[in-house]
Structure 1
Amino acid sequence: MWPDSIHHGRKALKMAETKRERPAGLDALSLPGPQPGGQGHPVEGLVGDVRRGVEQRRYLRGMIFPEVAVVERLYGLSEKEVRSAIRRLRDEELLQLHDDYQETYFIDLGRGTPIRESADVGLVAQVAELTTRLQELSSRVQALESVVLGRDDR
């Protein structure tokens, strides 16, 4: 990634940004918005919603974060407040700025991102259950093939 400016002596020369405009209609993740009767500030709610979404694996690496204007309307925040929340999420290594598009962020789980162990255990259990079901279905398909094809492999 290129630096935003090159320092030449005491004078900094600003380089032109080479990012493209964010494409219209880019499929972004869906945020829940403020909860009715929520106690905290909407910025805290936004940051917490993204954190929980990542922990619960509703938001996965690579999913696109909504545009700032959409988040402003959804949470009733100012542009400054949304940008503050985005900065916090980037500091927590939950969001990353897209390399190709201006003003576009995506979910990116950094090295320090805690993922709840219970979610991992739940995922392992689901995979084990699906593996068992797949084996059962495979056995049934083989039995049906034997009957249909008139073979008896027993």
Structure 2
Amino acid sequence: MAETRRERPPGLDALSLPGPQPNSQEHPVERLLGDVRRGVEQARYLRGMVFPEIAVVERSYGLSEKEVRSAIRRLRDEDLLQLHDDYQDTYFIDVGRGIPRQEPTDSELAAQVTDLAARLQELSNRVQTLESLVRGHDDG
């Protein structure tokens, strides 16, 4: 009996891929693979971060669904992506025995801290908004 997975939840916060560079001679599939590998090496993509939806990657890199699935298969073979157990077509970064992680430089760490601080502030704002909505709803 085949295992049934649920639909990918809407609004899942996925990592952001840079997409192909203008005037690049590199094939978009190779660019995608390199972007993920470099992101893992430089600790921009951490274990558990959600990979974007296939359609998003198709648009970002100008690839077909078949090409994106092939790239995903290669990243899974390299132990850089894993299929989520509960949700169909949902992959996440899973740094296994693939690319060894390089220690980030001070400037990379500073950029990561800045990015994390911005994300934390955004989450804090969302929580405050939700709390005010709940309080407003309870008063009504």
TM exceeds 0.5?
yes
Structure 2 counterpart of 1:55, one-letter code: E
Q: RMSD of the TM alignment (CA)?
A: 1.4
Alignment correspondent of 2:22: 36
Q: Aligned equivalents of 2:85 and 2:92: distance in 1?
A: 10
Which protein is richer in strand relative to its size? Answer: 1
Secondary structure of the structure 2 residue equivalent to 1:93: coil
Q: Which of 55, 58, 80 lines up with 2:44 in the alignment?
A: 58
TM-score normalised over the length of structure 1: 0.66
Which protein is richer in helix relative to its size? Answer: 2
CA deviation map 1:106-126 (0-9, x unaligned): 00000243112x43xx47xx7
TM-score normalised over the length of structure 2: 0.72
Q: Provide structure 1 residue ranges, at least 5 long, that are not aligned to the other structure.
A: 1-14, 127-154
Alignment correspondent of 2:119: none
Question: Identity over aligned residues, as a percent?
Answer: 79
User: Paired residues, what number?
Assistant: 107
**How much has 1:55 moved relative to structure 2?**
0.6
Secondary structure of the structure 2 residue equivalent to 1:106: strand
Structure 1 counterpart of 2:92, one-letter code: F
CA deviation map 1:98-154 (0-9, x unaligned): 0010000000000243112x43xx47xx7xxxxxxxxxxxxxxxxxxxxxxxxxxxx
Larger Rg: 1
Q: Aligned equivalents of 1:113 and 1:23: distance in 2?
A: 29
